Structure 1
Amino acid sequence: MARSENKESAGTTTRYVARIARNLRKQKGWSQEELGGRLGFTGSAVSAMETGSQPASDQMLEALERVLGEGSGIFEEAREFVRMDKYPAQFKDFAALEQRVVAIFIYETHLVNGLFQTEDYAHALINGGFPPPSEERVQGLVDARMARQGLFSRQPTALIELILDESALLRQIGSTSIMRKQLRRLAELARLRNVTVQVLPLNAGSRGECAGARGSITLIETPDDDRFVYLEPQDESLLIKEAAKVRTYAQRYARIRAQALSPAESVALIEGLAGEDR
């Protein structure tokens, strides 16, 4: 059932790549098992790719380029677009914008933001979702999420800012080891010159105001000087570009930042939590 559902939801690029791979394989007179052996994958993995039930991974596309593409670049060029097919439908428009941003400002309430997640944390989080996803779907989403992290080292450099509610640091996702590694990864990323990580403490509302009470916010700026707000409540998505609304969210974000711990204090808190026997 899971594979049937995946096939029905396969994106245009995924289906196109599958058709090209199947046609080139047949031209060479190879079975799926033979192609799999040359690629370093099983015949069933080739079958899943060709039927669209499992989009090709980056590793498979690299192997397909070597074995079937023969230097044409057809599978290499498809990597970015196949990756986009793996994202949930409501996230695809934002994912395309995210890769182009010159600046991104994130406030996250309950969980570590996907851009900052370790692979193990992402797997535990996605695998624990409801309705329960298939393992193939989980791995596809994890792979796509990890690929987004190229933004940290992309040229030209993007300015990346994350404010995490302290509760996200205290909420254990997966094992103690997974959570500790996630916290250490946050501290590591916070030391990049283009990255700032801050924590909104649990007592932020002790003076009667908690600017982050209305939920998560993501603001982005593009090379064209466009500014957007992205919201994602309960697996739905809302991309806002109306200037007056964007300005309101930007002002709210500024208040959240003002109530957060300083970057140095935040990293110290994260490292302290990572060092605890939790």
Structure 2
Amino acid sequence: MARAENKETVGPVARMAATMAKRLRLKKGWTQEYLGAQMGFTGAAISAMERLIHPVSDDMLVQLERVLGGGTGMFDDMRELVRLEKLPEQFREYASIEQKAVALWLYANHVVHGLFQTEAYARALITGTYPQPTPERAEELIVARMARKKLFDRKPVCEIELVLDESVLTRTIGNEEVMREQLAYLAECARRDNVNLQVLPMNAGLGGKYAGDRGDLNIVETPEHDHVTYLEIQGESLLITDRAKVSIHRQRHAKIRAQALDPRRSLGFIEELAGVRR
């Protein structure tokens, strides 16, 4: 059954994709059932997409390009934009900036940073949050989060400095197997040439100096070599461009990094938790 709230939340690019798909289908004289059969979907799925009951999925855009695109690439061009539309509203602007970043300075002290999450870890987080999303919405968020990983292999290279609080590594999300996989993946990421991963140990506050007390931190260097900070808490976000404030954030990240284990010791610590043997 069509739900009005679904239609209201569908973004303009997803609406355009649905409109173009319907126009091209009708131009060919195809039924929804026939188009669905060509794409590997049901006629009901095509109907739901065209009527904006369920926004077009990434897999559907791939098949629309193959079956209806005619080599134009128009549905392929929509894929990244549709993924951005499906992100939480407060995160969309930052996500676009993140994908173009020259460098990232990151600190996470609650859960593994989204860029570094495995699919199983992300799934456990997203499906276990409150309020709990629908299965369809959860899948959209998981796909969008995994799509961010293309930044790791992008050219030109993005240099990434990540500091993880030790509590992030010892807090079980999902189950033990999910965590072992996540820890092994972090170790794999730490070996990348463009990634510097450090662990801020639990005893970093000894002596009364603890630079990580203000919470998560995301600092981006843009292609224009400007710097911006992104902060998020309890579903609210803040994108900061004021140079003086961002400068303080960069200095604070440097303090956090200085209090962390060095990269080699950090990697060894993660491998030990993961049970990895080199």
Q: TM-score range by the shorter chain?
A: over 0.9
Q: TM-score, normalised by structure 2?
A: 0.95
- What residue is the counterpart of 1:207 in the other structure? 207
Q: Pairwise mapping of residues 1-278 of structure 1 onto structure 2 (< 5 A)?
A: 4-275=4-275
Q: TM-score, normalised by structure 1?
A: 0.95
1:33 deviates by 2.1
> What does the per-residue CA deviation read over 1:170-205, in whole Å, with 9 as the maximum and x for residues that have no partner?
111112111110111110011110011111011110
Question: What is the alpha-carbon distance in structure 1 between the residues aligned to residue 268 and residue 4 of structure 2?
Answer: 48
Q: Is the 8 A contact 1:197 1:267 kept in 2?
A: yes
- State the AA in 2 paired with 1:206: L
Question: What is the alpha-carbon distance in structure 2 between the residues aligned to residue 264 and residue 5 of structure 1?
Answer: 50
Q: Is the 8 A contact 1:121 1:179 kept in 2?
A: yes
Gapped runs of 5+ residues in structure 2?
A: none
Question: What is the alpha-carbon distance in structure 2 between the residues aligned to residue 53 and residue 263 of structure 1?
Answer: 48
- State the AA in 2 paired with 1:87: L
Question: What is the alpha-carbon distance in structure 2 between the residues aligned to residue 55 and residue 189 of structure 1?
Answer: 33
1:4 deviates by 4.4
> What does the per-residue CA deviation read over 1:21-45, in whole Å, with 9 as the maximum and x for residues that have no partner?
1121122222222211111122233
Question: What is the alpha-carbon distance in structure 1 between the residues aligned to residue 88 and residue 228 of structure 2?
Answer: 19
- State the AA in 1 paired with 2:120: D
Q: Is the 8 A contact 1:189 1:195 kept in 2?
A: yes
- State the AA in 1 paired with 2:218: T
- State the AA in 2 paired with 1:77: D
> What does the per-residue CA deviation read over 1:206-250, in whole Å, with 9 as the maximum and x for residues that have no partner?
121110011010000011011001000111110001011001111
Q: Is the 8 A contact 1:3 1:54 kept in 2?
A: no
Question: What is the alpha-carbon distance in structure 2 between the residues aligned to residue 32 and residue 117 of structure 1?
Answer: 37
Percent identity among equivalent residues?
55
Distance 1:190 1:9, change over 3 A: same
1:168 deviates by 0.7
Question: What is the alpha-carbon distance in structure 2 between the residues aligned to residue 148 and residue 234 of structure 1?
Answer: 21
Question: What is the alpha-carbon distance in structure 1 between the residues aligned to residue 129 and residue 18 of structure 2?
Answer: 28
Question: What is the alpha-carbon distance in structure 1 between the residues aligned to residue 2 and residue 87 of structure 2?
Answer: 16
Runs of 4+ in 1 over 4 A off after TM superposition: 1-4
- State the AA in 2 paired with 1:244: A
Q: How many residue pairs align between the two structures? A: 276
RMSD (Å), alpha carbons: 1.5
Q: Is the 8 A contact 1:55 1:82 kept in 2?
A: no
Question: What is the alpha-carbon distance in structure 2 between the residues aligned to residue 150 and residue 3 of structure 1?
Answer: 34
Report SS of the residue matched to 1:237: strand
Question: What is the alpha-carbon distance in structure 1 between the residues aligned to residue 22 and residue 109 of structure 2?
Answer: 45
1:274 deviates by 1.0
Q: Is the 8 A contact 1:228 1:239 kept in 2?
A: yes
Q: Is the 8 A contact 1:161 1:197 kept in 2?
A: yes
- State the AA in 2 paired with 1:121: Y
Report SS of the residue matched to 2:181: helix
